[in-house]
A and B are shown apart, each in its own frame.
Chain A
Amino acid sequence: MNNPPDISQDPKEHEEYAHNVQAHVKRYLMVGGALLAFTAITVALSYVDFGTRKANIAVAMLVATFKAGLVAAIFMHLAAEKRLIYRVLIFTGLFVFALFWLTYLAWYNPIVR
């Protein structure tokens, strides 16, 4: 799951390098196809009754999260990235979590309850 390495300055090695990138191109196309397929699945699932609307929302969000994961991991190269970027994103994740948690608290209103 490595990204194409930085290109070599040596022209002899370039052919091998190009071949290497070509392999990645195949993966990008496959991921693109998977994303399209999952879009169709999302639409189809929204017409299936899972009992409650909450269940339908949960299913749709699960599929969306998986799709977003594919985009982030493959297209955005997060599957193999430098540690510093992971560090930035861990904090982002924590802050987003806190934000939604605050929203939940505001709605649930534990002080009045």
Chain B
Amino acid sequence: MEIPYTISTRPDTGLWNAKIGIWLFLASEVMLFGGLFSAYVFLRLDAQPGEWPHGLLNVPVGTMNTAILIASSVTVVLAWAALKMRRYRAYWWYMLVTILCGLIFLGVKLAYEWPQKFEHFGAKIKKEALEKYEPYLGNHRRLEKGLEPRIEISGHLHNPEALKDPNIKEYEIALDPVNAEANNPAMDRPHFLYVPPTDKIVNIEKEDVERATMFLPTHSAYFASYFTITGLHGLHVLGGVLVFIYMWLPVSKKVYQRNPEHLANRVEVCGLFWHFVDLVWIFVFPLFYLL
């Protein structure tokens, strides 16, 4: 039996069915991401001074990924327009570019951004020990200037075994520039370009550390929400790419030959999903990378 109203509009709704379907689905997606974003707002509003990190993510890479996602949104709408104009060849190319953009976005996230965080280490210093590490925190100066205190020393952990071995009493850290030059006013604001850890190595006694972890979801409310939201967003990108690949393969050419409008409508529906994924990223990017 033929599925009704895939191309023609249903008289009572004035729409073909898949269009209502995708919008209802997107409405539920709005609530899904809305829940996570409201959790982000809640966690952030409740964070104590110094507890919400700034400038930990790589801004140029994030900006590039944003541009890639926007470009893919343009190509998917062009792919749809090409089908409306009955130019299958152009459609095929636009679709390929869209798929590649999605894959690059995922590749950058999974092969570069996340692993770089997993290799980064942070030690949150106990309140009573903050004075001891003042040279690496620069809090006297920050207090005078009315800035939030620094409560964490971060960088590259030279002895990762210290995380598990209770006999090792110290963490050996190659400091991040913020901690290496804690009193440099240039470190008051996040850098645009990524600056790797310095050669300056400092030993921090475990006794003085309240919490020591790599930059994993367990590190802080910030990283927990970062990995959850970008992870879920990444899954959406993956889902979109898989569907686009199906639309791009020769199977879809058969749909096009039978009725080009049918494929055009399918692409429109997937496109709506893709634009929504782009739209979510438009909020994710400033909230996590910039602010």
Q: Is the CB of B66 within 8 A of A39?
A: yes
Set of chain B residues within 8 Å of A39, measured between Cβ atoms? 63, 66-67, 70, 285
B97 at the interface (CB under 8 A from A): no
Residue of B nearest to A9 (CB): B261
Q: Is the CB of A47 within 8 A of B279?
A: no
Interface residues of B in 65-81 (CB under 8 A from A): 66-67, 70-71, 73-74, 77-78, 81
Is A85 a contact of B74 with CB atoms below 8 Å?
no
Q: When the two chains form their complex, are residues A89 and B290 in contact, meaning their CB atoms are under 8 A apart?
A: no
Give chain A nearest CB distance to B272 CB in angstroms: 6
How many A residues face the partner with a CB closer than 8 A? Answer: 52
Partner of B14, one of A25, A72, A83: A83
A-chain residues with CB within 8 Å of residue B194 when the two chains form the complex: none
Given contact pairs A7-B261, A107-B45, A21 touches B59 in the complex (Cβ within 8 A): no
A-B contact count (CB 8 A): 131
Asked if A60 and B290 sit within 8 Å, CB to CB, the answer is yes
Which chain B positions have C-beta within 8 A of A80?
Answer: none
CB of B8, distance to nearest CB on chain A (Å): 9
**Is B291 among interface residues, defined by CB-CB distance under 8 A?**
yes
Q: Is the CB of B286 within 8 A of A61?
A: yes
- Known A-B contacts A75-B275, A88-B27, A103-B42; A46 and B74 likewise in contact (beta carbons under 8 Å): no
Q: Does B34 contact A (CB under 8 A)?
A: yes
Binding site of B, secondary structure by majority: helix, strand, loop or mixed? helix
Answer whether residue B266 sits at the interface, using C-beta atoms and an 8 A cutoff.
no
Cβ contact within 8 Å between B19 and A85: yes
Cα distance A57–B278 in the bound complex, in angstroms: 20
A82 and B276 contact, CB distance less than 8 A: no
Neighbouring A residues of B41 by C-beta, 8 Å: 100, 103, 107
Judge if B165 is at the interface, Cβ distance under 8 Å.
no
B13 contacts A84, C-beta separation under 8 Å: yes
Q: Do residues A22 and B85 form an inter-chain contact, with CB atoms below 8 A? A: yes
- In the bound complex, what is the Cα–Cα distance between A27 and B207 (angstroms)? 61
Interface contact B81-A57, CB-CB below 8 Å: no
The answer on a CB contact under 8 Å between A76 and B81 is no
Known contacts A64-B282, A84-B15: A56-B275 contact under CB 8 Å: no
The answer to whether residues A28 and B70 also contact, given A18-B85, A21-B84, A103-B42 and a CB cut-off of 8 A, is no
A65-105 to B contact mask, C-beta < 8 Å, 1/0 = 00110011001100000111100110110011001101100
Which residue of the partner chain, among A4, A32, A43, contacts B290 with CB atoms under 8 Å?
A: A43
Please judge, given known A-B contacts A32-B70, A75-B275, whether A14 and B77 are in contact too, CB under 8 Å.
Answer: no
Whether A13 is near chain B, meaning CB under 8 Å from some CB there, is no
Q: Which of A24, A75, A95, A100 has the most CB of B within 10 A?
A: A75
New A-B pairs, 14, CB < 8 Å, besides A4-B81, A35-B70: A6-B261, A7-B260, A22-B85, A39-B285, A42-B285, A60-B290, A64-B282, A64-B283, A75-B271, A82-B13, A96-B30, A99-B38, A102-B38, A107-B45
Residues of B within 8 A of A (CB): 13-15, 19-20, 23-24, 27, 30-31, 34-35, 38-39, 41-42, 45-46, 59, 63, 66-67, 70-71, 73-74, 77-78, 81, 84-86, 189, 192, 260-261, 271-272, 275-276, 278-279, 282-283, 285-287, 290-291
13 A-B contacts (beta carbon < 8 Å): A7-B261, A21-B81, A24-B81, A32-B73, A39-B70, A43-B59, A64-B283, A75-B73, A75-B271, A82-B13, A85-B15, A85-B19, A88-B27
